[in-house]
A and B are shown apart, each in its own frame.
Chain A
Amino acid sequence: DTEVTQTPKHLVMGMTNKKSLKCEQHMGHRAMYWYKQKAKKPPELMFVYSYEKLSINESVPSRFSPECPNSSLLNLHLHALQPEDSALYLCASSQGPPVPSSGGNNEQFFGPGTRLTVL
């Protein structure tokens, strides 16, 4: 199974709503990531979880709250978002450092994303 799944595919929410994005992988990967992508721009890293611990928070506003319940699941809790937060939110996973001794390059595998619209 080389798939990363994300739910929901689309989400429309008001600025006062609370919602959650979910991500799941069953590849035994130890690193999981949240990215935000605006149109015609590359993905921007938001958070990295490595071995279920938050390793990177790229100065993301507190209205975004990540959670890693276990090594296969990653959530992103949303509260009091702004219209400019509308974007494609991508989850990814990788084996995590160090680089595998068997070779390979710690490639990241992406989920299909959640297209979020904040009204």
Chain B
Amino acid sequence: RKEVEQDPGPFNVPEGATVAFNCTYSNSASQSFFWYRQDCRKEPKLLMSVYSSGNEDGRFTAQLNRASQYISLLIRDSKLSDSATYLCVVNLEGVETSYDKVIFGPGTSLSVIP
């Protein structure tokens, strides 16, 4: 089993749609969690950290379920500019080592269509 798995995608949705991405991780001792977005030929950019209580930033809502080892990202009212690859990232900081060990999921591609 891969350490971090995501919906295979791609997701093609119309503008204004709501889209949800799912991510699961295998190491129950994982410490922190993130969603990054990556545009074509660009570097990954932090979209949001994911906290146990869930968190929202405008149209974006992230949820974490530690018991199920599951992370989600919900995008409401999709915009054309949301088209990108969304990467689920898990940090095993200080769990097995004294340093950060960051693991990326394979990413899910989103295309928002006019």
Q: Tell me the bound Cα distance from A109 to B46 in angstroms.
A: 7
Minimal beta-carbon separation of B74 from chain A (angstroms)? 19
**Smallest CB–CB gap between A68 and chain B, Å?**
13
Instruction: Knowing A55-B99, A106-B32, A107-B34 are in contact, say whether A90-B46 is a contact too (CB < 8 A).
Output: no
Q: Are A99 and B102 in contact (CB under 8 A)?
A: no
Cβ of A21 within 8 Å of any chain B Cβ, yes or no, is: no
Chain A residues with CB below 8 A from B41, complex form = 88, 115
Does A31 contact B99, Cβ atoms closer than 8 Å? yes
Q: Judging by beta carbons under 8 Å apart, are B100 and A110 in contact?
A: no
Interface residue? B61 (CB, 8 A)? no
Whether the Cβ atoms of A105 and B44 lie closer than 8 Å is no
User: A97 and B106: CB pair below 8 A?
Assistant: no
Given A41-B106, A105-B32, A110-B43: A48 and B91 interface contact (C-beta under 8 Å): no
Bound CA–CA A94/B105 (angstroms): 19
Judge whether B31 is part of the interface by a CB distance below 8 angstroms.
yes
Contacts of A94 in B (CB 8 A): 100
| Chain B residues with CB under 8 A of A31 | 99-100
Task: Tell me the minimal C-beta distance from A84 to chain B in angstroms.
Answer: 19
B7 interface residue (CB < 8 Å to A): no
Task: Pull 15 A–B residue pairs with CB atoms less than 8 Å apart, ordered by A.
Answer: A43-B44, A44-B104, A48-B100, A50-B98, A55-B97, A55-B98, A98-B93, A106-B91, A106-B93, A106-B100, A107-B34, A107-B46, A110-B43, A110-B45, A113-B42
Closest 9 CB pairs of A and B: A42-B104, A55-B99, A50-B99, A110-B43, A105-B32, A105-B49, A97-B94, A97-B93, A113-B43
